[in-house]
Amino acid sequence: MAPYPRPPRLTGGVFILIGLALIVGGAWLLALGGTWYYLAAGVLTLLTGGLAFTGRRAALWLYALTLLGTLMWSVAEVGLDIWQLEVRLVMPLVLAIWLLLVSRKLRVPLTGARAAGPALGLIALAVIVVGAVAAMQPRGIHGSVTLDANAQPDQDTSVPNDDWLFYGRTPKGDRYSPLDQINTGNVKSLKLAWTARTGDTMRPGEDVGGTDAGHEFNFEDTPIKVGDTLYVCTGHSWVVAFDAATGQKKWSFDPKADTSADVYLACRGVAYYKAPEGTQTDCPERIIAPVLDARIMALNAKTGQLCQDFGDHGFVSMKEYLGHVPAGFHFITSPPLVVKDRVILGGWIFDNQATFEPSGAVRAFDPLDGKLVWAWDVGHDPQNWTPGPHDTLTRGTPNAWGVYTADVDRGMVYLPEGNATPDYFGGHRRPFDEKYSSSTVALDIETGAPRWVFQNVHHDLWDFDVPTGPSLVDLPDPKGGTIPALVQTTKRGELFLLNRETGQPVANVEEKPVPQGAVPGDHTSPTQPFSTGMPSLAPKDLTEAAMWGATPIDQMVCRIQFRRAYYKGQFTPPQLKNTIVYPAFDGVIDWHGASIDPTHKILIANANYIPFMISLAPREPYVKNGDVQPWSGDGNEPKVGGGLSPQYGTPYVGKVHPWLNPLGVPCNPPPWGTLTAIDLTTRKIVWQHPIGTTRDTGPFGTHTNLPFPTGIFNIGGNMVTKGGLVFIGATADDYLRAIDERDGTVVWQARLPAGGQANPMSYAINGKQYVVIAAGGHAGLGTRSGDYVMAYALPDGDTAGKDSKP
């Protein structure tokens, strides 16, 4: 009799190791109240490995039973959700195929040995069939809307159609271009027209792959276009002017910003001002731009030279009236709003550092001489005033760091207010902090007098700043009139539809009970506002069954972390242990906001989904071990260790980080990014689809993967055009895409040379429409860094196409 072949001991060893991992983790999970599956699967996999190691054909039967049980459990737990099935079934399927490939080495006899291989093969085939059926299931919300080509335009005509004068094209922030040369009928012919380089790139010591280096370098700019020139600002506060038709650089100005202490290096845009006819100035047209080291500057729009009549030879210090400002504690990333002879802006007060940080007051300056016109200071009576040379604006108040919008005709500017510092403890907050934190606020443009306030989050303990000003739109009312409305996007994913004259809800808002139980010395609001009259983009609450991973093992780790953490759903208050916060401060919708088609009343919003872990801890042990030094605000902040948020002035330090498992894979399931169209008239979702792929997002922080269409993390917004197209970069897979506004279909895409984490824009010059996006990467997403400005247009002679689909 021929000797048996050598048993497949490598195969058996691998099964044994996987089984042991599942047994240890599964027993821990079961002890925490979790599912029994991992322990059972671990025992069966371990036994399969032992049988294979000794060459016994019973391994095939045992693993067939394991795979069948896994298939039944998976479908019972998550149904036919392809991404949830993928993490449960792919690795067991691969192991089954591996075992079949070495089955000829399993020769120790047993009854029914001949049927063992076919049985395992049939179950493996069943897994493949179930996966194929799941992959064919529709994902998202499939619908469509008819865009009436004969509809009466309802756009803001204060900006010429060919230009893009504000961050959102107009002061209303709708990010809508009234150009339709590029449309659904010809967008497939869209080509790269020109590429420009700013020359400002990431420097040594800065970081585009995370935050360990202390400085996040980003290119978040939305260019503005005035006449024949495109104006761009960069991560180090340069302003660069390009020929709008060719991309040729006209001029560049570097303000030599001191960014050594700034943790976030970005500029989202600049502003344009034209002086009234007859004004005596060497700068009749000027670009007013933020500078990261808490200045604003005015440049001659034609030459790039400083306007000497503005402030101190072209600069105004935003540190004036703030008292002592520690290095890096006040910087500006968003463009000022320039309307009605006012330059209106605030700034970013360094998150999570202290109760005694500089004031978050918003100020308005004269665009010609740079003199302060008014300050809005919630801690002062009256709130709108003009401080004198020895006055200090109230410290530690909420700040409005995002882009502002305005209804110029009604004389109102709309501010997106953050919360009073620090973010995760609020026991010290004053009545005016509580009233204005995390709110949308309307001020009088000319005087700064408050008109109304609408609070999006009460007693915010989650860093749910309102990250951008609302988008304005006029909507029909049931009586045939018009409602002057606005839509406020939020980090929570709630969309608040308000009357922009009064701040009262147009769509129903309800106060609902939320989890309670803050740390000692703090409290929680018993209720929070939910926009029940509008669709919500907020994620579902997490469950153990929803946990994800690249393999069953790291998914099991996520389940264990979920069971060990404190979590009661949305608005779970931070605890003295790991607390899951979802949605979290990176937002569902962050600083990019949403776009609105004002003619058809369609809102387009891209959303982002990732949970965070937050924990608080008593301060004293960290003072004793040297991670945190005592500090009362004098001088600059001492060095902080241990990845802590020091929260000086409170009893606690904090830690916050994205919730990723040991492979660097999210613990929440796909989709991680979506694009949604909402009809603002019916207040219903028209369509919703995952946006982006995993092409550049892999385990362990790598940027190589297969392009699975999971929907991916995104930072940066979208714009919508009269041509029926939505353009969006934003996603971590470095594409610019064109989406059919009617049904959400991707109709064109182009690979970018670096991350496109910025809002695209569009303009026309010499009869040709261009679509432009800044492509320079983003530290938070770890996308490729660069300094590119990319412009796309139709080839000459290919501009007449129209789509016959309504």
Residue 412 is which amino acid?
Answer: M
463 included as an active-site residue:
yes
Task: Quote the radius of gyration of the chain (alpha carbons, Å).
Answer: 28
Please state, in angstroms and rounded to a whole number, the distance separating the CA atoms of residues 257 and 438: 29
Please state, in angstroms and rounded to a whole number, the distance separating the CA atoms of residues 399 and 404: 12
Cα dist from 314 to 298, 321, 366, whole Å: 5, 19, 13
Burial code (b: 16+ CB inside 10 Å, e: under 16) for 605-620 equals bbbbbbbbbbbbbebe
**DSSP string computed for 190-209:** -EEEEEEE-S----TT-BSS
Helix 37-53 and helix 9-31, axial crossing angle in degrees, nearest 10: 160
Sheet containing 372-376: give its strands across. Answer: 337-339, 342-345, 362-365, 372-376, 384-385
State both tokens at 334: 């968003």
Neighbouring-strand partners of residue 529: 511
Please state, in angstroms and rounded to a whole number, the distance separating the CA atoms of residues 452 and 504: 9
- Closest Cα to residue 537, out of 675, 389, 439, 339? 675
Please state, in angstroms and rounded to a whole number, the distance separating the CA atoms of residues 612 and 380: 35
The answer to whether 385 and 362 are in contact (CB under 8 A) is: no
Please state, in angstroms and rounded to a whole number, the distance separating the CA atoms of residues 525 and 67: 48
Residue carrying structure tokens 């569009």: 762
Burial class (CB in 10 A: 0-12, 13-18, 19+), 746: middle
Sign of CA dihedral 453, 457, 463, 468: negative
Burial code (b: 16+ CB inside 10 Å, e: under 16) for 235-270 equals bbbbbbbbebbebebbbbbebebebebbbbbbbbbb
Helix 9-31 and helix 58-78, axial crossing angle in degrees, nearest 10: 40
Helix 82-101 and helix 58-78, axial crossing angle in degrees, nearest 10: 180
Measured from the Cβ of residue 425, the count of other Cβ atoms closer than 10 Å reads 25
Is the previous residue joined to 583 through a cis bond, with omega within 30 degrees of 0?
A: yes
Neighbouring-strand partners of residue 718: 728
Please state, in angstroms and rounded to a whole number, the distance separating the CA atoms of residues 290 and 239: 10
The answer to whether 714 and 673 are in contact (CB under 8 A) is: yes
Cα dist from 711 to 132, 273, 675, 691, 703, whole Å: 19, 40, 9, 4, 16
Please state, in angstroms and rounded to a whole number, the distance separating the CA atoms of residues 134 and 660: 26
At 56 the three-state DSSP class reads strand
Q: Which helix (H) or strand (E) holds 486?
A: strand 482-488
Helix 9-31 and helix 82-101, axial crossing angle in degrees, nearest 10: 150
What values do phi and psi take at 41, rounded to 5? -65, -35
The answer to whether 474 and 446 are in contact (CB under 8 A) is: no
Identified catalytic residue from 423, 460, 463, 554: 463
Q: Which helix (H) or strand (E) holds 21?
A: helix 9-31
What values do phi and psi take at 534, rounded to 5? -130, 155
The answer to whether 623 and 638 are in contact (CB under 8 A) is: no
Active-site residues: which are they?
Answer: 463
